Amino acid sequence: MAQLCQRQQDLDRLKVRVLIISFSAPAFARVWLEETKAPFSLVLNEDREAYQRYGLERSVLRSWSPKTIWYYLLNWKARPKSKLPDDLDQLGGDFIVDAKGVLRFVYPSYEPIDRPTMDQLFSILESC
């Protein structure tokens, strides 16, 4: 999220609107927005219908792989520390939908730290 926030001028230039979809409860979402100061719109999908439709899985094994645990250990101090519960086994993803509603990019994460690079995302955004 921090990397995307740093590219706000590029997003503005491309007239891109970022929409975050979260399954979190409203109280957790408010805390997350306060902690991250994310300038993007947030929509709550507590029943995870959107997650299911986009094929986003839930996996204990992949959520707690050695690679993921190591990443969390290395980045623990830099991350916001919410005291509210969350489902750490729900995997996310990144999607790009163009102005006509056409899905241009689909990236369901294999594990929590598996995300496309900013270069990948902006390459697709530039072509939309």
Domain ranges of the chain: 2-127
- Whether the CB-CB separation of 68 and 48 falls below 8 Å is answered with no
pLDDT at 77 over 70: no
The average confidence (pLDDT) of the chain is 87
Res. 29: pLDDT tops 90: no
Q: How confident is the model at residue 79 (pLDDT cuts 50, 70, 90)?
A: low
Question: How far apart are the C-alpha atoms of 49 and 34, rounded to whole Å?
Answer: 25
Number of H helices, E strands in the chain: 7, 4
Contact by Cβ (8 Å): 48, 102:
no
Per-residue pLDDT, 28: 86
Is 82 a residue whose pLDDT tops 80? no
d(CA 120, CA 27): 33
Q: Is the pLDDT of residue 107 over 50?
A: yes
- Tens of pLDDT along 90-106? 999 999 999 999 999 99
Give the CATH number of domain 2-127; options: 3.40.30.10, 3.40.50.10800, 3.40.50.300, 3.90.1170.50.
3.40.30.10
* Other beta carbons within 10 Å of 23: 20
